[in-house]
Amino acid sequence: MWDYLQHLSFWDWLALGTLLLILEVFGAGGYLLWIGVAAAGVGVITFVVPQLPWTLQFLLFGLLSVFTAVFWWHRQRSNASPSDAPGLNMRGQELIGRTFVVQEAIVGGRGKIKVGDGVWMVRGPDMPVGTPVQVLSQDGAILQVGPAP
């Protein structure tokens, strides 16, 4: 094993990089991509400098793995732009601040309001059917309501 490590060639690093990239295709979620790129990078460096000691090759591999992963993470974070539709796919968020009518009386802090063609469960002060309420917040599938202004 030590003999093999002392005679690593660029083919070994390119093979490792290729294997990691193939494994990435099967769904590693991006984790193996940058490690595979680092292995291929060490393969290129080893091709240019064939007498590079194996300890330095592994050190380069570790540093390149961390560098490529941090570089891509930083690049992804800097490219993130604010959404023009921040409430998209957050069902119920668009109801906050709107006024609706109580459909099932709020008794003991629980009741229902009609929203469009659907009914939402609500929490709030006790109110009879037909009372207008304003949605204050959302907690999962339950809306917090208060008296409409």
Q: Which residues pair with 110 in a beta bridge?
A: 107, 123
Name the segment(s) of the chain with CATH classification 2.40.50.140.
93-147
Structure pTM? 0.52
Strands 99-107 and 132-139: antiparallel
Which H or E run includes 118? strand 118-123
**pLDDT tens digits, 83-100:** 677 666 777 888 899 999
Q: Is 96 exposed, middle or buried (0-12, 13-18, 19+ CB in 10 A)?
A: middle
Helix locations, 49-135, DSSP H: 54-79
- Cα–Cα distance between 144 and 33 in angstroms, integer? 45
- Quickly name the fold that domain 93-147 has: OB fold (Dihydrolipoamide Acetyltransferase, E2P) (2.40.50)
What are the tens digits of pLDDT across the range 31-81? 888 899 999 999 999 999 988 898 899 999 999 999 988 988 888 787 767
